[in-house]
């Protein structure tokens, strides 16, 4: 049975956790089963030999040495070169820090590899692809990723602040700070206000565009990337977007749409 949650949703007390669950948690933090069981046993023993750890845990004695070496390697136990060898666990604060750092290193290595694979995949992607995304959050994530690739200019238009999340504003601000020309167009004062304090982002008011129940967001990047979204007029409908990059279609659409948007700009960019 899972431990009862406290006011913050966590377990009320470590005493509510069984030894089996504690070992399982340590395994998820990167320890082998034998190492986790040995480490738990050493909390009770304080200092222990391989024989004592074996008797306390039923870990095969032949495996205790390997488990102890694993714990020593990641800094969770100290070894006394006596006869027989004796093992003492480090403080729990140190153990917590060591496991957190080990977990972070593993995550960093894994995601560095994944990023390299993603970059290699992107280079191999067909230049004739058009992609469809459904759902507000997936579209939010995609527009941020696309903006981060901008090297020359970005044009963004949206009729409602629901299409502009904080991560997107930050992404546009970062590109603008790096010298990319960033323009935002909207008939909505609320949308324009989101960028009022963002330096180097030019904002313009748009003449209200022709009425449509499917209005979404538009993103153009470097004359080579285009993203268009729409939201059907039903209560449960989700945003759907199409996007294309480095294709003949994207280049043509980007130019046509940019000219169309510019024709709706009231006054000049500020």
pLDDT digits (tens, 9 = 90+) for 70-124: 888 888 888 787 788 888 888 888 888 888 888 888 888 888 888 888 776 655 5
Domain boundary among the residues 94, 124, 154 is at 124
Beta strands in the chain (DSSP E): 48-49, 77-80, 86-89, 131-134, 153-157, 181-186, 201-206, 218-221, 225-230, 240-245, 265-266
CB atoms near residue 93 (< 10 Å): 8
Domain boundary among the residues 91, 124, 157 is at 124
Q: Are residues 13 and 140 in the same domain?
A: no
- What are φ and ψ of residue 213, in 5° steps? -90, 0
pLDDT at 53 over 80: yes
pTM of the entire predicted model: 0.56
The C-alpha atoms of residue 105 and residue 263 are separated, in whole angstroms, by: 52
The domain of 133 spans: 129-266
Q: Which residues pair with 221 in a beta bridge?
A: 154, 225
Domain boundary among the residues 93, 124, 155 is at 124
Q: Are residues 55 and 99 in the same domain?
A: yes
Radius of gyration of the chain (CA): 29
* Of 30-44, 55-69, 144-158, 250-264, the least confident: 250-264
Q: List the CATH number of the domain containing 219.
A: 3.30.870.10
Q: Are residues 140 and 109 in the same domain?
A: no
Strand order in the sheet with 153-157: 131-134, 240-245, 225-230, 218-221, 153-157, 181-186, 201-206, 265-266
Return the sign of the alpha-carbon dihedral for residues 245, 249, 253, 256: positive
Q: Are residues 43 and 152 in the same domain?
A: no
Pick the closest to residue 47 from 68, 63, 28 (CA basis).
68
Q: Are residues 245 and 170 in the same domain?
A: yes
Share of the chain above pLDDT 70, in %: 85
As for how many domains the chain has, the answer is 2
Average pLDDT score over the chain:
83
- What are φ and ψ of residue 132, in 5° steps? -120, 135
The C-alpha atoms of residue 43 and residue 95 are separated, in whole angstroms, by: 11
| 84 prior amide bond cis, ω within 30 | yes
* Of 45-59, 114-128, 192-206, the least confident: 114-128
pLDDT digits (tens, 9 = 90+) for 197-226: 888 899 988 876 544 455 789 999 998 999
The C-alpha atoms of residue 54 and residue 41 are separated, in whole angstroms, by: 9
pLDDT digits (tens, 9 = 90+) for 224-248: 999 999 988 776 778 999 999 888 8
pLDDT at 58 over 50: yes
């Amino acid at each position: 049975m899972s431990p009862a949650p406290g006011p913050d949703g966590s377990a009320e007390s470590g005493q509510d956790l069984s030894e089996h669950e504690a070992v399982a948690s340590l395994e998820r933090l990167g320890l082998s089963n034998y190492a986790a069981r040995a480490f738990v046993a050493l909390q009770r023993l304080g200092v222990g030999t391989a024989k004592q750890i074996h008797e306390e845990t039923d870990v095969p004695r032949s495996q205790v040495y390997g488990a102890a070496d694993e714990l020593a390697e990641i800094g969770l136990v100290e070894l006394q070169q006596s006869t027989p060898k004796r093992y003492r666990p480090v403080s729990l604060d140190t153990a917590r820090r060591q496991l957190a750092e080990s977990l972070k290193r593993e995550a960093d290595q894994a995601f560095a590899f994944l990023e390299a694979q993603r970059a290699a995949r992107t280079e191999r992607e067909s230049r004739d692809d058009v992609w469809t995304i459904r759902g507000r959050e997936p579209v939010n994530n995609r527009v941020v990723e696309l903006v981060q690739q901008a090297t020359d200019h970005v044009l963004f238009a949206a009729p409602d602040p629901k299409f502009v999340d904080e991560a997107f504003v930050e992404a546009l601000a970062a590109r603008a700070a790096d010298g990319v020309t960033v323009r935002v167009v909207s008939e909505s004062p609320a949308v324009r206000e989101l960028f009022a304090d963002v330096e180097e982002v030019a904002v313009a008011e748009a003449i209200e565009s022709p009425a449509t129940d499917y209005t979404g967001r538009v993103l153009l990047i470097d004359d080579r990337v285009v993203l268009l979204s729409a939201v059907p007029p039903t209560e449960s409908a989700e945003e759907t977007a199409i996007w294309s990059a480095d294709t003949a279609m994207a280049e043509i659409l980007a130019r046509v749409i940019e000219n169309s948007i510019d024709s709706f700009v009231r006054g000049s960019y500020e």
